[in-house]
């Protein structure tokens, strides 16, 4: 059975009747990225305007009597609509589709059919699967590589066919129809029943498909192939946008270009060179900073050897660059200030001091947040105390030969570590 959404992809609302409504749960992902379980109802209608996910196409969104439909799935010849409000069987209801989402899916899906047909016709590149993503769509081609020249040729050809305003027709064939053998397809679902739905682009392609499509290629407006990526074994992923997504992509790209022009004080054609210069300058500053940090570590080490606490417990904390700061720098491919120097800073001090007679506790990072730590001293004492220090700081670490270092999440508990170390030293002195 073909649903109303498949018989008329352009219909935006219609009236039907509720067949059944049963309690159900929906497993979904919340706005914070965590999985959630929603309680609600699975509603079955006599017919539906909302497409259930299938054929690589996500499901529609919409409303039934102004009640939001959060998911639509196919179950045999029926479609289950998940709502959080029950609907009474036998009630006549008004169904409306989220048209922006629907038309976007129509453009991407018909665009995929067109690219698949042209790639096969021009270069024998077979489509093995595809994904209609939230921001971009991906076609998996059965080839280990696709050249830039092939991509350009495919893009030129599909856009020529869009300008030719070729019609797209949908029809149904019985399973025993000889024409089925001539239709492109990747098999039918195990629970498929009834006739086969065929989507035909005039003089270009005929393909078995359950999805929603445009009725004329002119509705695709334009297709932009963004490039290719290495796919699974001996496959290539071709990334594309169709229709309104191309316009949104251009708007977003233009906004980024304007922002970079203002920040870099140069035209768009010079952005890449300007960023390269900034990266080189940052790397030079990083190198100079590390050299200064090493000199500082040596100076501190010599000062600590003169400390009145020498022979007991010596602690030192340096405020580091901070994990959040490092992530921000790293996301832009710039080296973070002292990002590589925090651990080296502590190790230089430990090496210069040679603390066989002293327990040396060094830490770098936020005063009360996360950071790095190092415990150095007599091998037996460090082996005993290292894991306990990591536990107090709610972190993890490892060590050998009189040195234990790791990452901590609670630098605010450094005073507890100092007390732990001093208790140990006092106990050892008393036993001697």
| pLDDT tens per residue across span 408-426 | 999 999 999 999 999 998 8
pLDDT at 186: 57
Which pLDDT band holds residue 326 (cuts at 50, 70, 90)? very low
Whether the CB-CB separation of 220 and 107 falls below 8 Å is answered with yes
Whether the CB-CB separation of 239 and 229 falls below 8 Å is answered with yes
Chain-centroid distance, C-alpha 252: 18
- From the list 89, 82, 29, the residue with the least C-alpha distance to 52 is 82
Per-residue pLDDT tens digits for 216-253: 999 999 999 999 999 999 999 999 999 999 999 999 99
Q: Cα separation of 72 and 42, whole Å?
A: 9
CATH architecture of 103-252: 2-Layer Sandwich (3.30)
Whether the CB-CB separation of 52 and 73 falls below 8 Å is answered with yes
- From the list 245, 213, 334, the residue with the least C-alpha distance to 285 is 334
pTM: 0.74
Q: Cα separation of 254 and 239, whole Å?
A: 20
Whether the CB-CB separation of 113 and 207 falls below 8 Å is answered with yes
Angle between helices 99-123 and 244-264 (to 10 degrees): 90
- How many CA atoms does the CB half-sphere of 51 hold within 13 Å? 29
- From the list 296, 285, 371, 294, the residue with the least C-alpha distance to 335 is 285
pLDDT at 299: 87
pLDDT at 338: 39
pLDDT at 339: 43
Composition of the chain by helix, strand, coil, percent to 5: 40, 30, 30
Task: Please determine, looking at this structure, whether the domain spanning 297-429 carries the CATH number 3.40.50.620.
Answer: no
76 versus 175: the higher-pLDDT residue is 76
Q: Cα separation of 213 and 201, whole Å?
A: 10
Q: Cα separation of 229 and 324, whole Å?
A: 30
Which pLDDT band holds residue 324 (cuts at 50, 70, 90)? very low
Which pLDDT band holds residue 195 (cuts at 50, 70, 90)? confident
> How much is the mean pLDDT over the chain?
89
Percent of the chain past pLDDT 90, that is, above it, reads: 67
Q: Cα separation of 137 and 226, whole Å?
A: 10
* CATH class of residue range 4-97: mainly beta
pLDDT at 347: 86
For the beta sheet containing 205-208, the strands, ordered from the edge strand earlier in sequence to the opposite edge, are 168-173, 196-201, 205-208
Domain assignments of the chain as residue spans, ordered by start: 4-97, 103-252, 297-429
pLDDT at 320: 67
18 versus 331: the higher-pLDDT residue is 18
Per-residue pLDDT tens digits for 330-352: 444 433 433 445 788 888 888 88
Q: Cα separation of 147 and 233, whole Å?
A: 17
- How many CA atoms does the CB half-sphere of 295 hold within 13 Å? 6
Task: Name 345's Cβ contacts closer than 8 Å, sequence gap at least 6.
Answer: 293, 294, 296, 297, 318, 338, 364
Weakest mean pLDDT among 115-124, 162-171, 179-188: 179-188
């Amino acid at each position: 059975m073909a649903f109303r959404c498949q018989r008329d992809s352009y219909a935006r609302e219609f009236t039907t009747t509720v067949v059944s409504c049963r309690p159900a749960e929906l497993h979904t992902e919340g706005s914070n990225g965590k999985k959630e379980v929603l309680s609600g109802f699975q509603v079955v209608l006599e017919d539906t305007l909302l497409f259930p996910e299938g054929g690589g196409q996500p499901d529609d969104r919409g409303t039934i009597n102004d009640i939001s439909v959060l998911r639509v799935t196919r179950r045999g010849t029926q479609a289950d609509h998940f709502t959080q409000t029950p609907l009474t069987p036998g009630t006549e209801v008004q169904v409306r589709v989220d048209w922006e989402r629907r038309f976007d899916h129509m453009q991407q899906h018909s665009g995929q059919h067109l690219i698949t047909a042209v790639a096969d016709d021009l270069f024998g590149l077979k489509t093995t699967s595809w994904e209609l993503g939230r921001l971009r769509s991906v076609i998996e081609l059965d080839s280990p590589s696709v050249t830039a020249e092939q991509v350009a040729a495919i893009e030129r050809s599909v856009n020529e066919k869009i300008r030719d305003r070729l019609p797209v027709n949908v029809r149904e064939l019985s399973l025993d129809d000889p024409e089925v053998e001539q239709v492109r397809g990747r098999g039918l679902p195990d629970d498929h029943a009834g006739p086969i739905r065929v989507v035909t682009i005039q003089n270009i392609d005929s393909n078995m498909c359950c999805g929603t499509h445009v009725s004329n290629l002119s509705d695709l407006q334009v297709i932009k192939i963004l490039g290719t990526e290495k796919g699974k074994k001996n496959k290539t992923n071709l990334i594309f946008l169709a229709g309104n997504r191309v316009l949104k992509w251009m708007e977003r790209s233009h906004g980024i270009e304007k922002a970079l022009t203002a920040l870099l004080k140069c035209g768009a054609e010079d952005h890449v060179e300007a960023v390269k210069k900034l990266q080189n300058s940052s790397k030079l500053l990083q190198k100079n900073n590390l050299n200064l940090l090493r000199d500082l570590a040596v100076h501190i080490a010599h000062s600590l050897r003169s400390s009145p606490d020498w022979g007991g417990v010596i602690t030192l904390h340096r405020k580091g660059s901070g994990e959040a700061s490092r992530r921000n720098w790293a996301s832009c491919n710039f080296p973070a200030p002292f990002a590589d120097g925090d651990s080296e800073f502590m190790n230089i001090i430990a090496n210069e001091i040679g603390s066989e007679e002293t327990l040396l506790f060094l830490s770098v990072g936020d005063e009360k947040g996360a950071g790095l730590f190092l415990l150095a001293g007599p091998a037996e004492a460090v082996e005993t105390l290292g894991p306990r220090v990591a536990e107090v700081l709610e972190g993890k670490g490892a060590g050998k030969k009189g040195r234990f270092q790791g990452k901590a999440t609670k630098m605010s508990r450094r005073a507890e570590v100092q007390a732990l170390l001093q208790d140990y030293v006092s106990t050892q002195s008393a036993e001697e």
